[in-house]
């Protein structure tokens, strides 16, 4: 390539977008992928055609552990694709700008991803499609340079499909289509012969799908989708559009000869603008990925810092914030000072909150069986991931299932760049007594003493948490935080009082967090029961200031006429937005799905 400007522009844009704005996405993709050198693992990729793309994709995805490296790798691959495209389509000088159009759309394929990434069924999506396009165009280039106009061209075309299909799936058919289009455009070979070769070659996969000896596990209805992410982004077709645009850009290049000299640069700019414009800029999605990453690193301050920036969080962000608050010992103290989290997940697909965050949330709030179950459920329905195996190992470790933990840790070991995590948990496995002095276990083990009632099979995350913590007696101070948090969230006054007085009367524990004290004052105040009010006042002797504040609040509430009026709500928010009282009266509906 002689023209370095498009290369520089593309590389800069790609790296800025991927490493600068989508670093957490890349880390997520690495965590939601898996690699290993085991025979069964490698062989599993070849049970279906196109497995090589997924395998290489899974291998390269490991490098996304370091987002800059992951971004550089993808950018390099896409630059290589542009180079091949330029050669294959004879794009020189200013026209070299056009060679980057498919690459721009393949960057968009990654930056457009939304919550449907939690429902992946294919491995290595960050790289596999770029590799597919690279393979297809490389085969096309090979044809153009070596076989165009020769008698063996038709044989090559058929061979591309027949031999390429097992490795790169239907990208081999894409290559053959490019060959036929080229022969049609150039007239150097009989396009009809080549088309016949393409059809003949493409018939082979269909034939194979009917035979018992070849690909015994292939689903014949999806034979021509092999290698494409056809099982992914269900309900979110928009996420597939960049691949169609990339293919359309390739096809458009057949007509590049007729483009005027002024066309390439504006075309590049327009496609670059499309890339930036269609990139998923959803702030909640970005924040969620940051919280997920910080949670994996047990960086609770970071979780809270990210949460603080979210003005209209989703429930997923709220529950992440809650586990961070619990770890910081501030759950009932601070959880009601946050927006209610009614923002929906911005995706056209039906991605439930439980899919998005239940694995870490269940572990870190002490529901380890549920965490283990979620890992199992999700990894059977979608891909197996390092993320799930880690939480399975952590759940097994804390339960003392050491043989099981060892198996899971071994899987994680098979992935590069997991050394820090492996050292930590292998250390606990080798010396379980070291768990006694670790903060993770100090906060979680007491929660495991809390048995929880039986749980339904299918339930949403917060409903499961409410079911777990929202019905039994007082156990210990750690479980009490979660019990009260969820009871207060539900505004379940009778159970609040039961727990509150059970702890006070039977365990003689008199200290309360501010949030619980506010709730107690409020429930006593609104009950109209003088005896109850007196009992509660007796338990709140150290909260005299709080009780003094409650009087004006109650008066204001009595005077307020329309509690649904936004102005009224804002007035109360400005004065009492950091209290449970505001939550109790103005946050009416917590969606738990």
Partner 1 sequence: MKRILSILSLTLALAGCIPSGFQNADPVSEQLEIYPDYTDVVMPVNIAPMNFKVLNQADACVVEISSASQTLTLKGPVVSIPVKKWHSLLEEAKGGDLLYKVYVKRDGKWLRFAEFKNTVAPEPVDEYVTYRLIEPGYSYYGQVVLRQRHLSDFSETDLYNNSIISEPVAQQCINCHSFQNYSTENFQFHARNLSGGTLVATGDQAKLLAFKTGDLISNAVYPSWHPTEPLIAYSLNLTQQFFHSNDHQRLEVFDLASDLCLYDVNTDAVSYIVHDSLSFETFPYWAPDGKTLYYSSAYLPSFGADSSTDVTYMTSSIRYSIHAIDFDPATRAWGQPRVIFDAAADSLSAVTPRPSPDGRYLLTGVGEYGSFHIWHNSGDIYITDLQTMETKPLDPINTDRAESFKSWSSNSRWIAFTSRREDGAYTRLYFTYFDSEGNAHKPFLLPQEDPDQNHRLFKSYNVPEFTKDKVRWSPKDLEKVFHTDPVQTHQVEPVYQ
- Considering only residues 158, 367, 397, 409, which one is a binding residue for partner 1 as defined by CB under 8 A? 367
- Contact predicate 279/263, CB 8 Å: no
Binding mask 408-427 for partner 1 (x = CB under 8 A): --xx----------------
- Contact predicate 71/15, CB 8 Å: yes
Whose Cβ is closer to partner 1: residue 12's or residue 211's? 211
Q: Give the range of 66-74, 184-192, 360-368, 568-576 binding partner 1 by CB under 8 A.
A: 360-368
3-state secondary structure 319-335: HHHHHHHHHCCCHHHHH
The distance of closest approach from Cβ of residue 457 to partner 1 in the complex, given in angstroms and rounded to an integer, is 5
Whose Cβ is closer to partner 1: residue 121's or residue 498's? 121
For residue 65, state whether it binds partner 1 (rule: CB under 8 A). no
For residue 381, state whether it binds partner 1 (rule: CB under 8 A). yes
- Contact predicate 460/354, CB 8 Å: yes
- Considering only residues 187 to 216 of the shown chain, the ones binding partner 1 according to CB under 8 A are 210-212, 216
For residue 401, state whether it binds partner 1 (rule: CB under 8 A). yes
Q: Which residue has the tokens 């690193």?
A: 297
For residue 437, state whether it binds partner 1 (rule: CB under 8 A). no
Query: How far is it, in rounded angstroms, from Cα 429 to Cα 249?
Result: 53
Q: Give the range of 84-92, 406-414, 420-428, 490-498 binding partner 1 by CB under 8 A.
A: 406-414
The dihedral through the CA atoms of 188, 189, 191, 194 has a sign that is negative
- Considering only residues 92, 219, 244, 477, which one is a binding residue for partner 1 as defined by CB under 8 A? 219
Structure tokens, 299: 């960086």
**Within the chain, what is the greatest distance between any pair of CA atoms?**
100
The distance of closest approach from Cβ of residue 107 to partner 1 in the complex, given in angstroms and rounded to an integer, is 25
3-state secondary structure 128-184: HHHHHHHHHHHHHHHHHHHHCCCCCHHHHHHHHHHHHHHHHCCHHHHHHHHHHHHHH
- Considering only residues 299, 377, 438, 535, which one is a binding residue for partner 1 as defined by CB under 8 A? 377
Query: How far is it, in rounded angstroms, from Cα 587 to Cα 589?
Result: 6
For residue 368, state whether it binds partner 1 (rule: CB under 8 A). yes
Distance in Å from the first CA to the final CA of the chain: 53
For residue 457, state whether it binds partner 1 (rule: CB under 8 A). yes
Residue 173's nearest CA partner among 182, 165, 163, 184 is 165
- Considering only residues 226 to 245 of the shown chain, the ones binding partner 1 according to CB under 8 A are 230-232, 234
- Considering only residues 77, 117, 180, 218, which one is a binding residue for partner 1 as defined by CB under 8 A? 218
Q: Give the range of 79-87, 185-193, 252-260, 378-386 binding partner 1 by CB under 8 A.
A: 378-386
For residue 369, state whether it binds partner 1 (rule: CB under 8 A). yes
- Contact predicate 543/512, CB 8 Å: yes
Structure tokens, 118: 């939690």
* Burial (Cβ within 10 Å: 0-12, 13-18, ≥19) of residue 140: buried
Query: How far is it, in rounded angstroms, from Cα 228 to Cα 560?
Result: 59
Cα distances (Å, whole numbers) of residue 511 to 277, 445, 504: 53, 22, 9
Q: Give the range of 50-58, 371-379, 426-434, 541-549 binding partner 1 by CB under 8 A.
A: 371-379
Whose Cβ is closer to partner 1: residue 70's or residue 205's? 205
Q: Give the range of 37-45, 96-104, 170-178, 241-249 binding partner 1 by CB under 8 A.
A: 37-45
For residue 299, state whether it binds partner 1 (rule: CB under 8 A). no
Query: How far is it, in rounded angstroms, from Cα 280 to Cα 273?
Result: 13
The distance of closest approach from Cβ of residue 415 to partner 1 in the complex, given in angstroms and rounded to an integer, is 14
Whose Cβ is closer to partner 1: residue 294's or residue 368's? 368
The distance of closest approach from Cβ of residue 299 to partner 1 in the complex, given in angstroms and rounded to an integer, is 26
- Considering only residues 477 to 506 of the shown chain, the ones binding partner 1 according to CB under 8 A are none
- Contact predicate 140/49, CB 8 Å: no
Q: Give the range of 271-279, 320-328, 362-370, 435-443 binding partner 1 by CB under 8 A.
A: 362-370
The distance of closest approach from Cβ of residue 405 to partner 1 in the complex, given in angstroms and rounded to an integer, is 9
For residue 458, state whether it binds partner 1 (rule: CB under 8 A). yes
Helix or strand (DSSP H, E) at 566: helix 566-576
- Centroid of chain to Cα 295: 13
For residue 588, state whether it binds partner 1 (rule: CB under 8 A). no
Interface residues with partner 1 (CB under 8 A) are: 38-41, 47-48, 121, 210-212, 216-221, 230-232, 234, 366-370, 372-373, 376-382, 384, 396, 399, 401, 403-404, 407, 410-411, 447-448, 450-458, 464, 468
């Amino acid at each position: 390539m002689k023209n370095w400007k498009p290369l520089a522009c593309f590389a800069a844009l790609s790296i800025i977008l991927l490493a600068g704005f989508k670093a957490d996405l890349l880390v997520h993709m690495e965590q939601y992928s898996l690699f290993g050198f085991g025979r069964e693992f490698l062989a599993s990729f070849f049970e279906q055609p196109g497995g090589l793309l997924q395998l290489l994709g899974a291998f390269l995805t490991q490098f996304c552990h370091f987002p800059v490296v992951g971004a550089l790798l993808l950018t390099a691959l896409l630059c290589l694709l542009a180079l091949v495209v330029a050669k294959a389509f004879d794009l020189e000088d200013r026209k070299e700008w056009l060679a980057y159009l498919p690459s721009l759309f393949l960057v968009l394929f990654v930056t457009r991803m939304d919550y449907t990434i939690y429902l992946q069924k294919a491995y290595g999506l960050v790289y596999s499609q770029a590799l597919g396009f690279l393979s297809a165009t490389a085969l096309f280039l090979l044809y153009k340079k070596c076989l165009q106009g020769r008698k063996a061209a038709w044989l090559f075309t058929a061979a591309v499909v027949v031999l390429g299909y097992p490795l790169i799936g239907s990208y081999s058919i894409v290559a053959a289509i490019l060959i036929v289009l080229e022969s049609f455009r150039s007239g150097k070979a009989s396009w009809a012969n080549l088309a016949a070769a393409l059809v003949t070659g493409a018939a082979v996969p269909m034939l194979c799908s009917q035979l018992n000896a070849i690909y015994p596990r292939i689903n014949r209805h999806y034979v021509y989708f092999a290698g494409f992410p056809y099982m992914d982004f269900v309900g979110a077709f928009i996420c597939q559009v960049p691949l169609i645009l990339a293919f359309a850009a390739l096809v458009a290049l057949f007509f590049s000869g007729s483009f005027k000299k002024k066309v390439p640069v504006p075309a590049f700019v327009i496609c670059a603008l499309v890339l930036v414009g269609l990139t998923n800029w959803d702030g909640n999605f970005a924040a969620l990925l940051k919280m997920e990453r910080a949670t994996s690193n047990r960086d609770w301050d970071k979780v809270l810092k990210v949460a603080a920036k979210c003005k209209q969080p989703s429930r997923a962000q709220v529950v992440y914030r809650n586990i961070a608050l619990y770890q910081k010992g501030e759950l009932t103290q601070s959880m009601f000072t946050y927006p209610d989290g009614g923002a929906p997940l911005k995706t056209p697909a039906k991605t439930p909150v439980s899919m998005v965050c239940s694995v870490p949330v269940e572990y870190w709030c002490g529901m380890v069986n549920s965490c283990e179950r979620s890992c199992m459920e999700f990894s059977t329905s979608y891909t197996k991931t390092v993320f799930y195996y880690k939480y399975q190992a952590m759940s097994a470790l804390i339960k003392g299932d050491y043989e099981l933990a060892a198996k899971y840790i071994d899987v994680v070991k098979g992935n590069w760049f997991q050394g820090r995590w492996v050292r930590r948990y292998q250390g606990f496995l080798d010396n379980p007594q070291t768990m006694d002095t670790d903060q993770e276990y100090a906060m979680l083990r007491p929660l495991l003493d809390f048995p929880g009632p039986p749980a339904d099979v299918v339930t949403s995350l917060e409903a499961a948490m409410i079911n777990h913590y929202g019905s039994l007696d007082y156990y210990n101070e750690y479980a009490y935080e979660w019990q009260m948090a969820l009871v207060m969230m539900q505004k379940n006054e009778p159970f609040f009082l039961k727990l509150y007085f059970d702890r006070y009367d039977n365990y003689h524990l008199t200290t309360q967090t501010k949030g619980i004290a506010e709730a107690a004052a409020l429930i006593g105040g609104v009950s109209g029961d003088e005896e109850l009010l007196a009992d509660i006042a007796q338990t709140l002797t150290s909260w005299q200031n709080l009780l003094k504040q409650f009087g004006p609040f109650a008066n204001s509430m009595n005077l307020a006429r329309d509690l649904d009026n936004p102005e009224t709500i804002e007035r109360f928010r400005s004065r009492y937005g950091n209290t449970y009282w505001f939550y109790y009266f103005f946050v009416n509906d917590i969606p738990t799905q």
